[in-house]
Structure 1
Amino acid sequence: MKKTGVRIVLVFLIFLGISCHSLKNSKKSFDTKQNEVFIDSMMNNALRKGFFPGAQIIVGSKDSVFILKNYGYHDYSKKELVKTEDVYDLASMSKVLGATLVTMRLVGEDKIKLTDQVGQIVPFYKNTAIANVTLFELLTHTSGLTPSITFYQSLLSTPDLSPLLSNQQSENYPDLFDTMYVNKNIVYDANFLSFTSKENWIQVYKNMWLNPDFYKTVYDRIAVANTHPRGKYLYSDLNLLLVKQMIETKTGKKLDQLTNEIYSELGISKIGYNPLKWTSEQNVMPTELDNFFRKDTIKGYVHDEAAAIFGGVSGNAGLFANAESISVICQMLLNNGKYHGKQILKSRVVKEFTDSPLTKEGIYRGLGFDKRKPDEFYKKNDFGHTGFTGTFFFMNPDDNRFLIILTNRVNPTRTNRLMYKDDFSAKIWRQINN
């Protein structure tokens, strides 16, 4: 009897130990109903205040989707409801969901190294000031390159050489673009831009083609754009333009081909560059009314002007997707590069790219991925990215959560920054991680 009693106690203690261990190591449970009520409240308030015309939201874990909802309309005419298959211009989310994913694949296959230098791989930069900038510096935004260059503006001029933009509205500057007014007499450089198709020219908009000779001017300007200290953090679109050049030169393939190989393995089809090649215009969200360069409401073509001059396929921007397709990528990353039993990316590479290698220098950044200094909204191991058009996705590997918010807040104008002033996306991110 005594032995039986001892056995029962031992079994109970072992069970208790296992239970405590399991509780300690389990992910937080997710209250779908409570979080859905919170998100509905946030979204309805945002729509009422005009943060954006509509949105898609997905909340999930590495193996489940908890919430998938669409809100509002394509634009403020309220004629077309947002649907699950609709795709949004991801803007800078393209940096990680495009060029960075491809780089992760190539690093895992030992086809490119983070120590590789721009000038070693891309012959154009061999004898330039940026020749020894490394792939690591580009991905962590520590290259010293200036944040951006408005390449497209050198394609525009005025007959009397008056400025393209003015901070004052007048008869000659009637239309608003961001916070400036546009000269009504803008002339396009006929040597580099055409409004009819030409052989070997690159389509940059539905009625606009670019002479590829212009790219030498672009690369010349990038080569002398290292105007800030190397090793210090400075976010720059130019970094990802160079990453694209490095991976394309290394592989002999174009960026859109390389990304499509990964998307195909993941079984996702509502993601890619130049969406009118793979979905209908009706399923693409409109972005900004561009009174400056394209003189139209942008729909089906990339909003970012730098990506536009590269024919919509760029390292800094250009991807379009619906939230559902991005959710698959989130699950793959939270599963250490594996999806449905297939190892898409090496697990060691996922860890390396989503870690914070420069925190000792006070830099809260992954490789390609955005990270934040821990605060009331973000935790140490969170990673993801945002986009200028009003897009957001973040993952929390510790609690096994991801959040995707896609909006077109730049419709009809980029001056609408209400969602940022309200910490809109960060508040939802905090809520689902509580």
Structure 2
Amino acid sequence: MKNILTKIAIVCLIFLGMNGYSQEKSKKPFDVKRNEVYIDSMMTNALSKGFFPGAQIMVGTKDGILISKNYGFQDYYKKQAVKSEDVFDLASMSKVLGATLVTMRLVGDGKLKLTDQVGEIVPMYKNTAISDLTLFELLTHTSGLTPSITFYQALLSTPDNSPLLNKEKSEQYVEPFDVMFVNKNIVYDSKYLAFEPKENWVQIYKNMWLNPEFYPSVYDRIAKANTNPRGKYLYSDLNLLLVKQMIETKTGKKLDQFTNEIYTELGISRIGYNPLKWTSIDNVMPTEVDNLFRKDTIKGYVHDEAAAIFGGVSGNAGLFANAESISVICKMLMNNGNFKGKQILKANVVKEFTDSPLAKEGIYRGLGFDKRKPDEFFTKDDFGHTGFTGTFFFMNPNTNRFLIILTNRVNPTRTNRLMYKDDFSTKIWKQINK
């Protein structure tokens, strides 16, 4: 009997040892030097091949920063090297670092519920096809709303009604825009657009102001955009436009006021909408050369046209930030909503928003947060978001690591997708979690 017990004890010790080894292996010390060499190599390759002009990269844990580096220049003229204080247009990362963070705060405070319906909160949608869409559906992109609407193109026309864009370059279609060419005879709608300030008009670019009477047509188009099956995943910018409207209508407070309150609590100042209100233009990374709408190299104003028509403050885009400010938000989320002893967001809300509530249905999204189907790069617990301008941030609570990559790959054109073809960001993500 004694021998049997001894053998069982040995087996238990071996099992515990193996299990302990497995846990230890998953949380083995981060080799800063090895990872820094890898990132430097990836960046050298990316810059030499023209993936983007410049970048900030930061790797950290919920307790501190492991790697923080700047690479390249603000643009391909190479006159100004990237600095730590430079801010990047975050594009769709704004969805989580702006509207979603505010929603988490309001849900935690009992001021919004995930079952709240658009029409219940925002009166203009009460008798429309989207009236019963829930906040949950909007945040998980299961609302059925079409991916996007080019609202701004309704402000443009041509004298002979010829198309704004053409696939072929010609005498009439000269300047490039994305994979198209722009009609040289474009006319702006003077009823809704002005090139000097007007009382109560909304500034949408450094020399452009929009008549707010344009907005009802925008909301009407959103109300009619529910053209896909509800309950199925379809990523849509319109979802977060509606989340912003729900936030602002329910509370009577603007989205940027809310975000600034949270950022102030976190002690971060290099993040926000409309960066020229809080930093110098020299510290803002340029994005695309826009030959269609703004006829300029965009710098200091949001790249996304939908966010632009809302004055740079939108649920889908609009935030600018540097890696350092985003790292504080990462630490807070990885510490269950707590930062330096202050409970910024309720722990149960952080868990609810960063889980995969629809994973059984094959939908790998959190509430607002991007999640991925587990593969060689991502685990089921990873969460974060990416941005059209070439931005990426993800957190892995199991390895206690986060990664922030900020680039301006759309400078000078959005057609540059080299970083995606090379799996640039996901390769680095995989490397730091080994």
Q: TM-score, normalised by structure 2?
A: 0.95
Which residue does the alignment assign to 1:208? 208
SS in 2 for 1:287: coil
Q: Distance in 2 between matches of 1:142 and 1:36?
A: 39
> 1:250, CA displacement in angstroms?
1.0
Q: Distance in 2 between matches of 1:357 and 1:255?
A: 26
Q: Distance in 2 between matches of 1:242 and 1:46?
A: 37
Q: 1:73-92, aligned counterparts within 5 Å? A: 73-92=73-92
Q: Distance in 1 between matches of 2:174 and 2:37?
A: 44
Measured against aligned partners, the alpha-carbon deviations of 1:272-308 in whole angstroms (never above 9, x if no partner) come to 0000000000000000000000000000000000000
Is 2:379 the partner of 1:379?
yes
Q: 1:199-238, aligned counterparts within 5 Å? A: 199-238=199-238
Q: 1:92-111, aligned counterparts within 5 Å? A: 92-111=92-111
Measured against aligned partners, the alpha-carbon deviations of 1:105-136 in whole angstroms (never above 9, x if no partner) come to 00001110000000000001011000000000
Is 2:31 the partner of 1:24?
no
Q: Distance in 1 between matches of 2:251 and 2:267?
A: 23
Q: Quick one: which amino acid aligns to residue 386 of structure 2?
A: T
Q: Distance in 1 between matches of 2:376 and 2:53?
A: 28
- Percent identity of equivalent pairs: 79
SS in 2 for 1:55: strand
Which residue does the alignment assign to 1:175? 175
Which residue does the alignment assign to 2:164? 164
SS in 1 for 2:173: coil
> 1:21, CA displacement in angstroms?
5.4
SS in 2 for 1:105: helix
> 1:18, CA displacement in angstroms?
10
Is 2:299 the partner of 1:294?
no
Is 2:411 the partner of 1:411?
yes
Q: Distance in 1 between matches of 2:400 and 2:131?
A: 40
Measured against aligned partners, the alpha-carbon deviations of 1:336-390 in whole angstroms (never above 9, x if no partner) come to 0000000000000000000000011110000000000000111110000000000
Q: Distance in 1 between matches of 2:120 and 2:41?
A: 53
SS in 1 for 2:287: strand
The alignment's C-alpha RMSD in Å is: 1.6
Which residue does the alignment assign to 2:393? 393
Which residue does the alignment assign to 2:3? none
SS in 2 for 1:114: coil
Q: 1:419-430, aligned counterparts within 5 Å? A: 419-430=419-430
Q: 1:27-46, aligned counterparts within 5 Å? A: 27-46=27-46
Q: Quick one: which amino acid aligns to residue 288 of structure 2?
A: E
Structure 2 gaps, min length 5: 1-8
SS in 2 for 1:174: strand
Which residue does the alignment assign to 2:250? 250
Which residue does the alignment assign to 2:52? 52
Q: Quick one: which amino acid aligns to residue 339 of structure 1?
A: F
Q: Distance in 1 between matches of 2:17 and 2:342?
A: 31
SS in 2 for 1:113: coil
Measured against aligned partners, the alpha-carbon deviations of 1:237-262 in whole angstroms (never above 9, x if no partner) come to 00000000001111110000000000
Q: Distance in 2 between matches of 1:23 and 1:339?
A: 30
> 1:24, CA displacement in angstroms?
3.2
Is 2:109 the partner of 1:72?
no
Q: Distance in 2 between matches of 1:311 and 1:24?
A: 49
Which residue does the alignment assign to 1:187? 187
Q: Quick one: which amino acid aligns to residue 422 of structure 1?
A: D
Measured against aligned partners, the alpha-carbon deviations of 1:193-227 in whole angstroms (never above 9, x if no partner) come to 00010000000000000000100000000001000
SS in 2 for 1:149: coil
> 1:22, CA displacement in angstroms?
9.3
Alignment: residue pair count:
422
Which residue does the alignment assign to 2:347? 347
Q: Distance in 1 between matches of 2:399 and 2:152?
A: 43
Q: Distance in 2 between matches of 1:337 and 1:162?
A: 53
> 1:64, CA displacement in angstroms?
1.3
Q: Distance in 1 between matches of 2:373 and 2:297?
A: 37
Q: Distance in 1 between matches of 2:219 and 2:266?
A: 34
Q: Distance in 1 between matches of 2:383 and 2:310?
A: 28
Q: Quick one: which amino acid aligns to residue 428 of structure 1?
A: I
Which residue does the alignment assign to 1:363? 363
Which residue does the alignment assign to 1:6? none
SS in 2 for 1:409: coil
> 1:19, CA displacement in angstroms?
12
Structure 1 gaps, min length 5: 1-9
Q: Distance in 1 between matches of 2:251 and 2:62?
A: 31
> 1:28, CA displacement in angstroms?
3.0
Q: Distance in 2 between matches of 1:343 and 1:197?
A: 42
Q: Distance in 1 between matches of 2:118 and 2:373?
A: 29
